[in-house]
Structure 1
Amino acid sequence: MDAQFWHDVWHRDSLGFHQDTVHPLLSQQLTKYLPDANSHILVPLCGKSLDMLFLAQRHQVTGIELSDIACRDFFKENKLAYSTDNHGPFKRYSSEKIVLLQGDFFEAGRQWLSGDFPQYNYVYDRAALIALPKHMQQDYVDKLIQLLQPGDQILLITLEYPDNELQGPPFSVTEERVSELFLNHKVLKISQTSLPDGVFARRRFNVSYLKETAYLITVNA
């Protein structure tokens, strides 16, 4: 799986992973785990997620997204005025409370993410980690940790199903795998939900079980 895979997904409009509403876990159960108002939240591999609109009600939001189509569609579909400019290795889409950086997440550095906003101190990952195959997951986590400071937090939502019953993406990430990936950091499991009828976002999976689990991860020094 490479960058071209995801560019092709957006060109074909094969957006089975896109949720047409704000994620119910975020809006109904996880709000109490969000940071204080006016914090700066980073959303990696953000797509055109409506969760960013929800977060922007009380926070500044920076998303990182590979696809130019996703960035343009996010602002157009939500009728948000925006401007564009070049920002380091990224093309930057800017609105009042949401900035999307279009480019490769692995090229991100703290200097490119601060921009005109205050320093970010929180990450929301609803479908980034599970979009990556196992051999890329540790690199993703390591990069994420590089962008954060001790005490910063990550709200992570994963998907779990029997590995032998489905070939991702999205990929199954177990509780044991999360602990392994964030080995030196504090991992708190805060919720787990069974998804009825194997429905995830716009897709239905023929698997014996499908679970969504949320974790609050605190970065250690």
Structure 2
Amino acid sequence: MTLQEAVLTDRERLVGIHHLDTLIVRNNLALSYQQAGRTDEAITLQIAVLIDCERVLGPEHPDTLTARSNLAVGYREAGRTTEATTLLEAVLTDRERILGPEHPDTLTARNNLATTYADNGRTTEATTLLEAVLTDRERILGPEHPSTLTARNNLASAYSQAGRTAEATALLEAVLTDFERILGPEHPDSITTRNNLAVTRRRAGP
């Protein structure tokens, strides 16, 4: 992260704080803050990046929509689920209109919104949306694409939260087999899925 901060300082000095390359570095640094659990710093930086993207690129530019989506995910990670939901619903509407309903970024927006619905306890809406995301990703990207496997994993988690543990367990077992075969047993996605499967089996009981 220290290296990213140094790169940002250099970019700001050489090309200015509003240059597209600088905005990209600032966005990446915000994501690193988020992954490190520095949520307040991440959100502060993401808000600044979004404001600059809207002013420099326009409110409907794909990079602006990405910045808005990143801020929404930051809100969700910070537990600010109402703000996250409102922003993600707007991002999905814009991406469907500007990029089309089947664009990968649109599918990602739909997935992020569904995950936030699940966090809010809106399991029926989350499940319906995630089933649609999975169907689209299987058709557009193929059944073994990492994004498709992630969608399957997210749907299984929604099933588990909704008490549909048998369906969740069956789906997670299949996803884990695919992740281990395609990405390897020690890949982070394989480890996460293995953990999700263990949690779901505990919920199901003996």
Q: Same fold (TM over 0.5)?
A: no
Tell me which protein shows more helix as a share of its residues: 2
Relative contact order higher in (CA < 8 Å, ≥ 6 apart): 1
Tell me which protein shows more strand as a share of its residues: 1
